[in-house]
Amino acid sequence: TTDLLKVRNLKQYFPIKGGILGRKVNDVKAVDDISFEVKAGETLSIVGESGCGKSTTGRAILRLDEPTSGEVEFDGKDLLALSKKDMRKMRKNLQIIFQDPYASINPRQTVRQILSEAMNIQGVVPKDKQEDRIKELMDTVGLGPHQIDRFPHEFSGGQRQRIGIARALSVDPQMIICDESVSALDVSIQAQVLNLLKKLQKELDLTYLFISHDLGVVRHISDRVLVMYLGKIVEIADKKSLFDNPKHPYTKTLLSAIPVPDPTVKKEQIILKGDVPSPIDPPSGCRFHTRCPFATDKCKNEDPELRTNDDLMASGHRAACHYIEEIESGEMQPHE
């Protein structure tokens, strides 16, 4: 499989205007030098706590906010080199669906208007074919074609997210970035929308970058998972490898917080000390060192690289920790 999206050394720093209380302060390093690929046809999830940089990454890829530096290559094209106009055209191939479908659709437009507007912007479907296409899209996302003249408020939250999906599909994209797209929905509705996304992926050969703070959702939808902490990638792996065999202490902590379906399986619960530090002045060395139960002086001084080892190599599993092997073997024990 080929890489549809390649992100290289992406940085997104936001200046803080006027500083804090008149003092000049550093930029917010929301995303700080990350590189990864999304393969054609797969779902790569980005997971992490709020403020880790996952949504910022999605927005920077689409240039909804211009990234500070780095490279973004989509389908062989350098997105950061495109003019604004060509970038808008490119969004035909690369769509985004947000958390709150109501916020991103115009409440005064009917579904017909919402979908035909999207098609007109990209000039993908001639006017006389749009009605048929809109009905077909409604059918595709599991809403009746007879509902095309209704307004967003006449639909439930889950149905509105289906309209958001139909709008993204209306321009026939190759890839969709889903930013917390099911997070606002009830759990049972979440499952329905996730299943719809999976079905559409198969039928339409779609590639997803799926951004979520919810590991349960991520487990359901992903092929591979990327974990972020304070603007950095701390671990990336196949879903199974990540969930069964997490290597980074932060990933272990995240996973230990989700309930195990089988109550006879004993799971060691790891409690994190303190809050996530500020991305304005992130900790030196390994950014996780202020909360990591294994941290040493080396961790305070040296930023660990995202790396693999002999055991992990074949599966492409990588983690950014100095002590993957020592923690694995038990040679290093968590301190109190």
Q: Which stretch binds ligand SF4 (CB under 6 A): 78-86, 185-193, 212-220, 291-299?
A: 291-299
- Is 321 a residue that touches ligand SF4 (CB under 6 A)? yes
- Is 247 a residue that touches ligand SF4 (CB under 6 A)? no
**Which of 10, 6, 2, 5 is closest to 228 using CA atoms?**
10
Query: Is the Cβ of residue 113 or residue 296 nearer to ligand SF4 in the bound state?
Result: 296
Q: Which stretch binds ligand SF4 (CB under 6 A): 45-53, 104-112, 257-265, 318-326?
A: 318-326
Query: Is the Cβ of residue 43 or residue 55 nearer to Mg ion in the bound state?
Result: 55
**Residue 7 contact among ligand SF4, Mg ion, none, beta carbon within 5 to 8 Å by kind:** none
Give the number of residues written for the chain.
336
The secondary structure element, H or E, covering residue 226 is strand 224-229
State how far the alpha carbon of 23 is from the alpha carbons of 1, 19, 41, in Å. Answer: 50, 5, 48
Contact 235, 319 (CB under 8 A): yes
Contact 222, 239 (CB under 8 A): yes
Minimum CB separation from Mg ion for residue 55, in Å? Answer: 3
Minimum CB separation from Mg ion for residue 56, in Å? Answer: 8
- Is 211 a residue that touches ligand SF4 (CB under 6 A)? no
What residue type is assigned to position 42 of the chain?
E
- Is 289 a residue that touches ligand SF4 (CB under 6 A)? yes
Q: What angle do CA 138, 140, 146 make, to 5 degrees?
A: 30
Q: Which stretch binds ligand SF4 (CB under 6 A): 4-12, 25-33, 174-182, 316-324?
A: 316-324
Minimum CB separation from Mg ion for residue 332, in Å? Answer: 33
